[in-house]
Structure 1
Amino acid sequence: MSMIHSPFIPIDQLTRFESDVSSDEDLMEVIVKYSGDVMAVGAALGAFVEILDPNYAILTITLGNLERLYTYDEIEYVELPKNLTYFLREELNNSCISPVQRPTSFGLTGNGVAIGIIDSGIDYTHADFQNPDGTTRILFLWDQTVDGNPPEGFRNGSEFTKAQIDEALASDSPYEYVPSIDMAGHGTAVAGVAAGNGRSSDAVEKGVAPNASLIIVKLGHTGSNTSFTRTTEIMRAVKYISDKAQQVNMPVVMNISYGTNNGSHDGNSLFESYIDSVSDRWRSCICVASGNEGTAGHHYSNFLLQGAVDTVEFSISDNIPRLYMTIWKDFVDTMTFEIISPSGRSTGEISPLQRVTRFTLDDVLVAVLYGQPTHYNSLQEIYILFRGVSKPISAGLWSLVVRGNDITGGLFDIWLPTLEEVTQYTSFLRPIILNTITIPATANRVISVGGYNSSLNSIADFSGQGTLRNLNFMKPDLVAPAVNILTTRAGGGYDRFTGTSVAAPFVTGSAALMMEWGLIQGNDPLLYGQRIKAFLWKGAERPPLLTFRNPVWGYGALNLCDTMDLLVDYNQTGGAFS
């Protein structure tokens, strides 16, 4: 939910509505877009300022001082962080990567390129992430959950260098030296697809860019090892990796296999716009998984006519303590909402003139916030929070009644939390599978990666799908293998994983190979950013009988052979393709 300037909603109401902060002295994080001296603003308010770039920063501030933040001319916009979670659910040949790796062809391995993995960490003791002499391929590792030695300019976590990791690997007890552990195994799996070198496999199960260097960020906050992270933590990670790549003078490809449904899904949040801005910095490229929401039943959409009523039914499963529902519509349309619990109790019609309204139904606190348009987004958000009071939310069939009081367009979209947050048993009874790509894969300038079954050459039904409503903003960009992928396992060895989490690093590794050919070998000095995306689009394999670009396949399936052949043709002919 985007934060609204103080003339619209009291800040303390909004933050307490969104978070568990209860005291004016409690600390909270906010994302700000600023101009001028934001450090001076932070000093005046006793806030810790982490500058991301000349326009974006993260402030850790007391709730009591948050209202004052809006009085400074330097502060253009403020946004609360959202929670995100990761997606986990013979592919090198199917994506035509193996031929590009062969010495008799291009012989590309990612040498000289950095791959940044923003995830749950990495098993740095796994042989796939070590050189032949046993030293690490990891240049930097920032564990945001381990307190002690944060990188310069940041507030939390501990940074470990290649030298420190090498010292740990040479010892009998490495975790005493570098106490960073991938508890979930998700980041290790993602890193293996993008850059595993197969050293621990007799069959040499290597990844896409086996000689690339690695920059790793384990997401989270001190003392946390959950699967959830916040947008602020990903923003810090993106800045950190970009800065470190510049420090070592290496082009970099970043991989993000996390996402959320909490937002408008149109690329207009500060979170998404910051990631877009980093995509234009340095010699970089950012690849993001499209999420596993295709068949989760967490999206609903409809056109409401003047005077019409739509009853949107949704089920909530057992043992859900807290749940959000985010509704987005045109501000010009006036709609009212009513919530009915499984027992039949109702909130009554909720007026849009009441900014924040609270009810208790069946021992569940229901809080409703009507937002307003901002200079970043002309849409209106209605954010509904369900929270169990003395026990989890009442399981069963709930209803949201939507009434069209004054309708010009009538379109509205609703999202529930992701599959990883609430499972498939919390869902709409009449879901819409389009517009199910998670944020930040909705950012304009990233490469958004969906998933397909490369053995069957069919789309993976769980893969997040885009929308046909805005032909200038159609996602995903392309798809990659996402079913039964063999990759590195935390603790050693290999295992199989399914989900768009492991589709994205196929494209991440492919972008690293393209950068090696273009930037390191000097064949194309501009081969990064949107140029990589354009050639991946053009070289993608498009199944017959489909219209492209489309919201399921994007421009088609990853085909690195055709992409590289096009690059060679382009650089030899100056753009005159045969």
Structure 2
Amino acid sequence: MQKKIKNSGFSRTKELFATEITNGFEFAEVLDLLEDENEIEVIVKFNGDIERVAAELDAEAEIIYLNYAIITIDKTRIGLLNTYSEVEHIELPKNLYFNGPSNLISTCVTSVQRTDGFNLSGRGVIVAIIDSGIDYMHPDFQNNDGTSRILFIWDQTLQGTPPFGFYGGVEYNNQQINNAIESANPRQIVPSVDTNGHGTAVAGIAAGNGRASDGVNRGVATEADIIAVKVGYRGYESFARSTELMRALKYVIDKARRFNKPVCINMSFGMNNGSHQGDSLFETFITAISTNWKSAIVIPTGNESSAGHHYQGRISSNEVQEIEFFVGPGLETSYLSIWKNFADNFSVEMIFPDGSSTGVVGVESQTKTIRRPGFTTNIFYGQPSHYSTAQEIFFVSNVTGEPFFPGIVKLRIIAQQIVDGNYNIWLPTLEEVTEQTFFANPSIYNTMTIPATAAKVVRVAGYNDRVGNIAVFSGRGSVDDINHIPDIAAPAVNILSTRSGGGYDTFTGTSVAAPFVTGAAALMMQWGIIQNNDPFLYGERLRAFLRLGAQRRPDIVYPNASFGYGTLCLYDTMQYLVEYRLGGDYFWLQI
């Protein structure tokens, strides 16, 4: 049962509160504290007894993995967490958005599935879909006898009996799902519904068996077990927070360990709210838990390359630069996040379409609130944390009347003493502000969304397999750093998959590219772990072989910011796995 936090009785304005809590946080996160709820979740990196700390603050602690915890606390007491030596770092949760609205041949999957090939189907492996839910009534997620292939559904948006060790949502097991399928009123037994349809489409690509189409429209791992987590705020139909994805990751990995089965995890979410360097607690948690159990975490690079939401620049000492971006109609909230080298000293000013200004904001004014008719803008001039040397300057605007009036906004950067000079600016993702909000001169690079920026995950770009070109929307990596590029590209344009409510439909986006790789990873794990050909074929080893077997065009230099190491070709990957296995006495075991 979730503990109810008592109202502390504190009374303060939002501006004062924001000023008090900004020290020690990434400033992009502070807007979450400007909500009306008394309670808020924070991600905590800790040592020692964090449950005792939570108890003393009348809060609730969930230990997610090793020294990572989620603490639900009265927001007026967050500052007290910093007074405990057990607390190493605190991060506020951020909102994530779905990355999106027969390709089996182009991905070389069919030849691996065939009985005269490797004859792989994902049997013995779990495919976990962390997304908008799943239509458990769809025949493609059922066995030939009509029973469900879904081991568990955890719907975080419902209220009832949560999984053991968690405080929110409702868990339904395989027997309950089968009872629902056989019932005349299935939703009375298992009321979880994929109203968005995104998760059902992703699941169909990764693990659908094509039963509704007599095997024609099938996915990749057709006999894999399935675990589906419908993520969102506790008790609300909403996009997920980073804390909900952290819980979901722990949940599916714990389940896989309990069943002693390898697990491939698909998370088709993304956001722009962060440094994109893999250094937030959310990202480092994903990196850390990716080494736990026999798992592979697959994340798309997002759909931001053509959105115009990233600007990359360089400035010199005493220079003034002016950057224009257009704000589309109908927005009720928006943010702009600048990331710079802390050694560089510059101030910023934002000029609104009506000519009014925030005034110049620098290090001497680390928080500032500007009120204009109809909206309020908060500016936070940040500091580096002990996890990152970067500095963030964050603008967040919220309407107080009618939605924003569209127009051109100007951002002025006024440089003083500059050492490095490079900086990056991000606007919210397409899913947050649509294509009508964009920079006048954007960069298509460094547009992979978070958490594809985490280390040790398989990052999947999207391409049009009919023409061989990278999809114009597919998130790109860095042109200078191969540690921040996609691993592989998979089909992402007009992909046929399962539709929530029955039948099939076409989908486009990197979120439907990722499940091709998730399913491929399940087939690799079946061959390696289940069939004992390569018992350590998971994590970074699996990622390396996906890269090795990727198809590469002779006219393109690899690895690159768009395709990574090439396009998915599972058959070639499997051939390399066989070649290395036959190379002599499992030499790789001795490395």
Q: Partner of 2:385 in structure 1?
A: 374
The correspondence for 1:418, drawn from 406, 413, 429, is 429
Answer whether contact 1:9 1:355 (CA < 8 A) is retained.
no
Alignment-derived partner of residue 467 in structure 1 = 478
Separation (CA, whole Å) in 2 of partners of 1:139 and 1:7: 42
Is 1:325 matched up with 2:336? yes
Partner of 1:51: 63
Stretches of 4+ aligned residues off by more than 3 angstroms: 4-8, 10-23, 574-577
The letter of the residue matching 1:109 is S
CA distance in structure 2 between the partners assigned to 1:377 and 1:58 by the alignment = 21
Structure 2 length-normalised TM: 0.94
Q: Does residue 304 of structure 1 match 2:315?
A: yes
Structure 1 stretch 182-191 or stretch 69-78: which is displaced more? 69-78
Alignment deviations for residues 76-98 of structure 1 (CA, whole Å, 9 cap, x no partner): 10000010100224210000000
CA separation of 1:131 and 1:150: change in aligned 2, threshold 3 A: same
The 1:399–1:7 alpha-carbon spacing in structure 2 relative to 1, beyond 3 Å, is closer
Match of 1:181 in 2: 193
Distance in 1 between residues matched to 2:149 and 2:461, nearest whole Å: 28
The Cα shift of 1:347 comes to 1.6
Tell me how far 1:540 sits from its aligned partner: 0.3
Secondary structure of 2:582's counterpart equals helix
Tell me: CA distance 1:348–1:5, structure 2 relative to 1, closer, same or farther (3 Å). Answer: closer
Calculate the TM-score normalised by the size of structure 1: 0.96
What CA deviation, in whole Å up to 9, does each residue of 1:402-429 have, x standing for no partner?
A: 1111101100100001011111100101
Distance 1:52 1:128, change over 3 A: same
C-alpha distance in 2, partners of 1:333/1:8? 21
Counterpart of 2:506?
496
Which one of the candidate residues 77, 91, 102 is aligned to 1:79?
A: 91
Question: Partner of 1:296: helix, strand, or coil?
Answer: coil
Is the counterpart of residue 435 in structure 1 residue 446 in structure 2? yes
Give 1:222 shift.
3.4
Per the alignment, do residues 503 and 13 of structure 1 end up closer, same or farther by CA in structure 2, a change over 3 Å counting? closer
Q: Which runs of 5+ in 1 are unaligned?
A: none
Residue 12 of structure 2 is matched in structure 1 by none
Aligned length: 570
What is the CA RMSD across the aligned residues, in angstroms? 1.9
How many Å separate the matches in 2 of 1:365 and 1:331? 27
Matches for 1:555-574 after TM superposition, within 5 Å: 555-574=565-584
- SS at structure 2 position matched to 1:573: coil
Is contact 2:28–2:394 with CA below 8 Å preserved after alignment? no
CA distance in 1, matches of 2:303, 2:66: 34
Deviations 1:32-91 (A, max 9, x none): 001111111111111111110121010110012211111111111000001010022421
Partner SS state of residue 94, structure 1: coil
5+ unaligned residues in a row in structure 2: which ranges?
A: 1-17
Q: Are the equivalent residues in 2 in contact too, given 1:362–1:394 (CA < 8 A)?
A: no
Amino acid at match of 1:396: G
3-state SS of 1:241 partner: helix
Q: Secondary structure at the match of 1:567?
A: helix
1:278 aligns with 2:289: yes
Contact 1:449 1:479 in 2 (8 A): yes
Match of 2:550 among 540, 543, 546: 540
* Kept in 2: contact 1:292–1:500 (CA 8 A): yes
SS in 1 for 2:165: coil
Counterpart of 1:448? 459
The answer (yes or no) to whether the contact 1:15–1:21 under 8 Å persists in 2 is: no
Which residue of structure 2 aligns with residue 224 of structure 1? 236
* Distance of aligned partners of 1:530 and 1:16 in 2 relative to their CA distance in 1, 3 Å threshold: closer
- What secondary structure sits across from 1:221 in the alignment? coil
Name the CA distance, whole Å, in 1 between partners of 2:490 and 2:121. Answer: 19
Give the whole-Å Cα distance in 2 for the aligned partners of 1:362 and 1:394.
11
Map of 1:477-488 to 2, 5 A cutoff?
A: 477-488=487-498
Q: What is the match of residue 5 of structure 2? A: none
Separation in 1, partners of 2:19, 2:402:
34
* Partners of 2:338 and 2:426 within 8 A in 1: yes
Aligned match of 2:100 in 70, 82, 88? Answer: 88
SS in 2 for 1:305: coil
Which of residues 204, 222, 230 in structure 2 aligns to 1:210? 222
Q: Deviation string for 1:473-501 (max 9, x for gaps)?
A: 23111100000100000000000000000
Paired residue secondary structure (1:479): strand
Find 1:9's aligned residue among 7, 17, 23: 23
Residue number among 114, 117, 130 corresponding to 1:118 in the alignment: 130
Q: AA paired with 1:459?
A: I
Once residues 18 and 241 of structure 1 are traced to their aligned partners in structure 2, the CA distance between those partners, rounded to angstroms, is 27
Tell me the distance in 1 between the aligned counterparts of 2:176 and 2:374.
52
Of the structure 1 ranges 337-346 and 352-361, higher mean CA displacement relative to structure 2 is found in: 352-361
Q: Does the residue aligned with 2:368 lie in a helix, a strand or coil?
A: strand
| Structure 1 pair 546–362 and aligned structure 2 pair: CA distance change class (3 A) | farther
Residue matched to 1:387: 398
Q: CA deviation at 1:12?
A: 14
Aligned to 1:526: 536
Distance in 1 separating the partners of 2:396 and 2:555: 43
String of CA shifts for 1:214-251, please: whole Å, max 9, x gaps: 0110001234223x211000000000000000011110
Question: Following the alignment from structure 1 to structure 2, what is the Cα–Cα distance between the partners of residues 32 and 497?
Answer: 37
Distance 1:203 1:13 in 2: 50
SS of 1:312 mapped into structure 2: strand
Match of 2:510, SS? coil
Match of 1:295 among 302, 306, 309: 306
CA distance in 1, matches of 2:330, 2:231: 26
Instruction: Specify the code of the residue in structure 1 equivalent to 2:154.
Output: W
Deviation (angstroms), 1:395: 1.4
**For 2:71, what is the secondary structure of its paired residue?**
strand
TM superposition shift of 1:394: 2.6
CA distance in 2, matches of 1:307, 1:339: 18
Give the direction of change, closer, same or farther, for the CA distance of 1:460–1:52 in structure 2 (3 Å limit): same
Are the equivalent residues in 1 in contact too, given 2:277–2:454 (CA < 8 A)? Answer: yes
Deviation at 1:451?
0.2
Sequence identity (%) = 48
* Counterpart residue identity of residue 9, structure 1: N
Distance in 2 between residues matched to 1:539 and 1:88, nearest whole Å: 26
Kindly state the Cα deviation for residue 11 of structure 1 after the two structures are TM-superposed: 8.1
The 2-side partners of 1:13 and 1:306 are apart by 25
How far apart in 2 are the matches of 1:396 and 1:470? 35
Aligned AA for 1:555?
A: Y
What residue in structure 2 maps to residue 141 of structure 1? 153
Q: Structure 1's 10 and 33: CA in aligned 2 closer, same or farther, altered over 3 A? A: closer
Aligned pair partner of 1:348 in 347, 351, 359 = 359
Q: Show the counterpart of 1:512.
A: 522
Q: What amino acid is aligned across from residue 340 of structure 1 in structure 2?
A: I
Structure 1 equivalent of residue 181 of structure 2:
169
Q: Partners of 1:462 and 1:207 in 2: how far apart?
A: 24
Deviations 1:145-175 (CA, angstroms, capped at 9, x unpaired):
0101111221210011111111111111111
SS of the counterpart of 1:265? coil
* Contact 1:35 1:54 (8 Å CA) reproduced: no
